[in-house]
Amino acid sequence: MKICVAQTKPFTGTIEKNIIQHLKLVSLAIEQGVELIIFPELSLTGYEPTLANTLAISKDDARLTVFQEASSEKNITIGVGAPIKTSQGIAISMILFQPNQSIQVYSKGHLHADELPYFISGNNSLILQLNSQKIALAICYEISIPEHSEKAFQNGARLYIASVAKFKSGINKARTELANIAKRYSMNILMANCIGMSDGEECAGKTAAWNKEGEMICELNEVNEGLLIFDNTTQTTEKYLL
């Protein structure tokens, strides 16, 4: 089974443009036979906490219908990032579109201190099951919380996908944390990061994959959008840059 993580350069606060960009990468993934594609944190708006109140959407936003259509027509699961309105506040979420199924939402349960003025913590956990593979999802700061990866392992996940918005100042720490998770639990790890400016800082890119020994096996650069594809049957990777 082929799984991929996308590296994007968001148009700040412009959901329509970001949807077009996402669909280009989804189409490329479909051409390569991918069954799951995960985008970076808040990929549909860019990582802009101070704008969250203005940019927040519903999971049922009509503009997102194109993702469900692509999922069902091409048999691919698509995970996109967005600030989602709830009755309690706004959550940093991943919206998951699966073939001929209801939309699922995974919301970030562990927030960084800088995010607390703008977002609420999610309280749901989600293990995706594709074929016989259990896949755990993490959103950015959650990779720094040991209980998160431990729970993923205890729930049977052997693949851990982190959807992040890491700046150049924080990318090395994230890479070390993910390598350690891979080695500790003998899990394959994928990380989807963005490029360009977000929240006044430059994002690092370097979307990557690690094997079960904690060794990085593939990495994108810090300037191009693209895809990193992992085949969990052959344990091989491919990369496509735009």
CATH assignment at residue 62:
3.60.110.10
Domain count for the chain: 1
pTM: 0.98
Give the span between the Cα atoms of 24 and 85, in whole angstroms.
26
* Closest to 45 in 3D by CA, of 85, 81, 97: 81
What's the whole-number mean pLDDT along residues 1-10? Answer: 98
Q: What would the pLDDT profile of 28-70 be if each residue is shown by its tens digit?
A: 999 999 999 999 999 999 999 999 999 999 999 999 999 999 9
Token pair 């562990």 is found at 110
The domain containing residue 160 runs over which residues? 2-241
11: how many CB neighbours lie within 10 A of its CB? 17
Q: Are strands 133-139 and 90-97 parallel, antiparallel or unpaired?
A: unpaired
